[in-house]
């Protein structure tokens, strides 16, 4: 069972509330509560508090996380009005041309009145321009009245049963069709003929309203400025939902019979100095009961972090070697939610690959200047450039397209997301006279001209600004 307290307040008419509960609402696995208290609609007159209790059958839920929703539906009405000033057009034009603010001149303080609406789940905004409305004796003037129903609460409008627009006397709708919404007229009251569908954000109705020329004298009356009110009201069904997460755990018996531990198939990684290799964790971890993408990966420990380090980025383990030869040990853990398994592997960093050191003057710093050796591109290290996330840096490199990201130091996949715009390649940095180093974007590199200012140099002194080399999570200073 889940339970809660429903608090409701109304200032005007009574409201009738219907309560319901379900789990995993909106999914194919949605389940209705078997018992809901109160089971019948109940009425709130002023201020009321009601205990709500939802009961689900035993064994309704599968083991794991679920969302239980308590939702209430009720009918509600919101009213709104918009104050509008009206004035003779010639008078307005004449005064304006003389630099006289007509509203100031006639003592109007509220010069841009906003629509006033009753409190409730939705607001009704209204707008009609210009202010003041300018009318001409003997000529019909047409204005656009915009009415916006906007959801103010966190629930949703299930259905709009009625929209009524009440125009000032002598003002009329030019057409009973307002942008596809049909209205019927009864005097100055215009009512929507068919209910509108629900919404979660807002809905707008725009109507052309006209002031016939013959009625201008009546509507303006005896004084220079006439104040009139456009009104609108809406009756609708509103649904308010409160969600709670529940976790269904297996019984002891279920737990014992359940689930074998996941497995990690991960061998040692051979790398050159200043190299980077990603490994697809979806291919490395397996579990009988759990999908690969639901496995949870953690790096438990890393040794010799001056040689290499690894981070987990989405479904990849990305390892970077530095400018030092040696071996680092990485311990990786995978969990299926119940069982955890760890695996330790080595990163063996050997001498730099020919042509991969950007500071090597004998090596051309050109994209495509080096051809990846397919022999070095083992299948397990292939980056799969997902086109929805990445673009290829050098799409014309058809010679070894899957390997370029790690076989060729200069070429890698770039994230499409603009937030990763700091990604750079070494040749870009060279052209700027800057280094390519870790930036603010996770696992990305950026060009920096004042590297030494930004680098933390735990092991050395920066002699020159361009002496910082890109490293893992911090700038590592080396003397050049």
Partner 1 sequence: MRKKAIVMTAFLIILVGCGTKDTRNIIEYQFREGTKGLEMQLLQNSPPPKVYENSDILISAEISNLGAYDIENSYLALGIEDEYMEVRDWNGYIIKEKGTGSKRNTFGIQGKSQLMPEGQKSAITIRAKTRTLEQQTETHTSVVALTACYKYKTILEQEVCIDPDVYNLRNEKKVCTVTPISLSSQGAPVAVVKIEPLMLDSEDSQQARPQFMIYIRNVGNGEVYSQSIMEDACGSSAISKDNINMVSIKANVAGRGLQCTPQQVHLKDKEGIVKCSMEQGVSKAGNAFSSPLVVEIDYGYSFTVSRSVEIRRLGRQ
Window of 106-114, 149-157, 335-343, 409-417 that interacts with partner 1 by CB under 8 A: 106-114
Applying CB under 8 A, among 195, 212, 224, 368 the residue interacting with partner 1 is: 224
- 257's CB contacts (< 8 A; 6+ apart) are none
Smallest gap, in angstroms, from Cβ of residue 2 to partner 1? 35
Instruction: Give counts: helices (H), strands (E), the chain.
Output: 8, 34
Residue from 131, 126, 54 nearest 85 by CA: 131
Any contact of residue 100 with partner 1 (CB under 8 A)? yes
In the set 20, 82, 228, 365, which binds partner 1 (CB under 8 A)?
228
Distance in angstroms (rounded) separating the CA atoms of residues 410 and 432: 16
Residue 331 and residue 340: Cα distance in Å, rounded? Answer: 13
Closest approach, Cβ 158 to partner 1, in A, equals 22
Q: Which of these segments, 53-61, 94-102, 280-288, 298-306, binds partner 1 (CB under 8 A)?
A: 94-102
The reply on whether position 217 binds partner 1 by CB under 8 A is yes
Whether the Cβ atoms of residue 146 and residue 204 lie closer than 8 Å to each other? yes
Q: Quick check: 88 binds partner 1 (CB under 8 A)? A: yes
Minimum CB separation of residue 125 from partner 1 in Å reads 17
Q: How far is the CB of 137 from partner 1 (least distance, A)?
A: 7
Q: What CA–CA distance (Å, rounded) separates 154 from 146?
A: 24
Query: Is beta strand 340-350 parallel, antiparallel or unpaired with respect to 269-272?
Result: parallel
**46: contact with partner 1 by CB under 8 A:** no
Helix (H, G, I), strand (E, B) or coil at 104: helix
User: What residues between 131 and 190 interact with partner 1 by CB under 8 A?
Assistant: 137
* Shortest spacing between CB 228 and partner 1, in angstroms: 8
Query: What's the start-to-end Cα distance of the chain, in Å?
Result: 69
Q: Which stretch binds partner 1 (CB under 8 A): 65-73, 149-157, 224-232, 384-392?
A: 224-232
Binding span for partner 1 by CB under 8 A among 214-222, 243-251, 384-392, 418-426: 214-222
Please spell the DSSP secondary structure of 153-194, one letter per residue: SSSEEEEEEEEEEEPPTT-EES-SEETTEEEEEETTEEEESS
Owner of token pair 């040990």: 329
CA of residue 119 relative to chain centroid, distance: 28
Rounded to whole angstroms, the Cα distance separating 125 from 273 reads 65
> Is position 112 an interface residue for partner 1 (rule: CB under 8 A)?
no
Identify any residues that bridge with 162 across adjacent strands, giving them in sequence order.
235
Integer angstrom CA distances of residue 407 from 17, 125, 277, 411, 471: 66, 61, 9, 8, 18
Q: Contacting partner 1 (CB under 8 A), which of 97, 247, 379, 459? A: 97
Smallest separation, CB 68 to partner 1 (Å): 35
The answer to whether residue 11 forms part of the interface with partner 1 (CB under 8 A) is yes
Site string for partner 1, 295-334 (x = CB under 8 A): ----------------------------------------
Q: How many residues bind partner 1 (CB under 8 A)?
A: 35
Single out the residue of 5, 14, 46, 107 in contact with partner 1 (rule: CB under 8 A). 107
Q: Is 229 in the site for partner 1 (CB under 8 A)?
A: yes
Among 112, 194, 201, 223, binds partner 1 (CB under 8 A): 223
Determine how many CB atoms are found less than 10 A away from the CB of residue 444: 17
Q: Which of 16, 65, 90, 463 binds partner 1 (CB under 8 A)?
A: 90
Residues that bind partner 1 (CB under 8 A): 11-12, 79, 83, 87-91, 93-95, 97-100, 105-110, 118, 137, 217, 220-229
């Amino acid at each position: 069972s889940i339970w809660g307290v429903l608090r409701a307040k109304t200032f005007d008419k009574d409201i009738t509330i219907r309560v319901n509960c379900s789990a995993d609402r909106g999914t194919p696995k949605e389940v209705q509560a078997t018992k809901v208290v109160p089971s019948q609609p109940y009425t709130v007159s002023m201020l009321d508090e009601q205990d709500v209790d939802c009961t689900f059958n035993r064994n309704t839920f599968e083991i794991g996380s679920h969302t239980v929703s308590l939702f209430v539906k009720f009918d509600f009405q919101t009213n709104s009005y918009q104050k509008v000033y009206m004035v003779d057009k010639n008078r307005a034009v004449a005064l304006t041309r003389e630099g006289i603010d007509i509203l100031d001149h006639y003592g109007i303080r509220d010069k841009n009145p906003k629509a006033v609406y009753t409190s409730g789940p939705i607001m009704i905004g209204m707008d009609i321009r210009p202010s003041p409305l300018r009318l001409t004796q003997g000529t019909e003037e047409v204005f656009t009245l915009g009415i916006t129903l906007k959801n103010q609460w966190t629930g949703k409008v299930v259905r709009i049963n009625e929209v009524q627009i009440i125009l000032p006397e002598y003002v009329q709708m030019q057409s009973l069709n307002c942008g596809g919404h049909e209205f019927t007229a009864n005097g100055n009251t215009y009512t929507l003929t068919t209910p509108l569908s629900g919404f979660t954000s807002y809905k707008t109705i725009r109507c052309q309203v006209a002031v016939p020329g013959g009625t201008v004298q009546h509507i303006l009356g005896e004084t220079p400025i006439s104040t009139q009110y456009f009104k609108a009201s809406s009756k609708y069904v509103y649904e308010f939902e409160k969600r709670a997460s529940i976790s269904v755990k297996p019984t002891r018996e279920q737990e014992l019979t359940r689930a074998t531990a996941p497995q990690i198939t991960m061998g040692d990684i051979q790398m050159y100095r200043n190299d980077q290799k990603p490994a697809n964790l979806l291919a490395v971890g397996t579990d009988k009961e759990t999908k690969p993408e639901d496995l949870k990966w953690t790096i438990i420990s890393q040794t010799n972090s001056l040689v290499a380090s690894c981070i987990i980025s989405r479904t990849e383990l990305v390892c970077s070697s530095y400018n030092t030869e040696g071996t680092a040990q990485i311990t990786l853990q995978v969990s299926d939610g119940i069982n955890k398994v760890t695996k330790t592997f080595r990163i063996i960093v050997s001498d730099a690959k020919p042509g991969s050191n950007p500071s090597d003057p004998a090596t051309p710093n050109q994209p495509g200047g080096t051809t990846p050796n397919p022999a070095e591109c083992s299948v397990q290290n292939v980056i799969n450039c997902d086109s929805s996330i990445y673009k290829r840096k050098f799409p014309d490199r058809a010679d070894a397209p899957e390997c370029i990201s790690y076989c060729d130091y200069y070429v890698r996949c770039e994230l499409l997301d603009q937030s990763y715009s700091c990604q750079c390649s070494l040749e870009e940095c060279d052209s700027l006279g800057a280094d390519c180093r870790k930036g603010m974007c996770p696992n990305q590199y950026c060009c920096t001209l004042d590297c030494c200012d930004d680098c933390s140099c735990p092991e050395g002194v920066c002699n020159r600004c361009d002496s910082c080399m890109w490293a893992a999570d911090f700038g590592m200073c080396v003397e050049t």
